[in-house]
Amino acid sequence: MKNESKESAKVDRVYIKEDDRKTYSMLKTQGPLKGLSNKELFMLALTLGIKNRHRTPYGSKKPDGFFLLKDLNEKETSLFYAIAISEEKSLDVLTDKNKVFKIAEEYANCGIHLLKNEVFEKDHLGYIDRLETFLRKEFERQNTNRSKDL
C-alpha cells in the first residue's frame, strides 16, 4: 500500500458547496430548523445524505469553509471518522484527514438538498415530528438488527 502522506494540506474546517450556502441560510433563518448552528445543519444534511447513500462531489467551484473543526466535539469527530472508516472499509483512511472530511462533505452536499425538500417542499410544520418518527423507526430497526447480529 502506498503510504502517501496526505497531511500536507492541513485541514481545519469543514467545507460546503458555495451554491449551497444560500440553502443553509434559508434553513437557518426560516422554518423549524431556525436557529440551528452551521454545524448542526451540516450534521442534519450529512444525516440525510448518508441515509440516501449518495455522495455529491464538489465540481469545479471552490468549496466554502462552513465551520471550524474545533467546533466539533470528540463524539462528533469520532462520527466523522466512523463514516470515513466504514466508507473505505479500512482504518487507514484516518491517515488522510482531508479524505475523511471530504467523504462527509460529499454526503452533506447531497443531503442538503434533501433537507431543503423535507423542510420546505413538504409540510414543514410537521418536519420535526416526521424526523422524530423516522429516527425512532431507524433506531428500532438498528436494535432489532443488533440483536439479530448478537
Contact positions toward other proteins, by CB under 8 A? 1, 3, 5, 36, 40, 43-44, 46-47, 50-51, 74-79, 81-83, 85-87, 89-92, 94-95, 128, 131-132, 135-136, 138-140, 142, 145-146, 149
The least CB distance from residue 84 to other proteins, in Å, is 9
Which of 18, 138 has the CB closer to other proteins? 138
Please, what is the minimum distance in Å from the beta carbon of residue 40 to other proteins? 6
Closest separation in Å from C-beta 92 to other proteins: 5
Q: Is 106 left (phi over 0), alpha (psi -120 to 50) or beta?
A: alpha
Which segments of the chain does DSSP mark as H helices, in order?
A: 20-29, 38-52, 74-88, 97-116, 127-149
Give 40 or 123: the residue with its C-beta nearer to other proteins: 40
With respect to other proteins, which residue has the nearer C-beta, 12 or 18?
12
Residue 60: CB minimum distance to other proteins, A: 29
Smaller CB distance to other proteins: residue 23 or 47?
A: 47
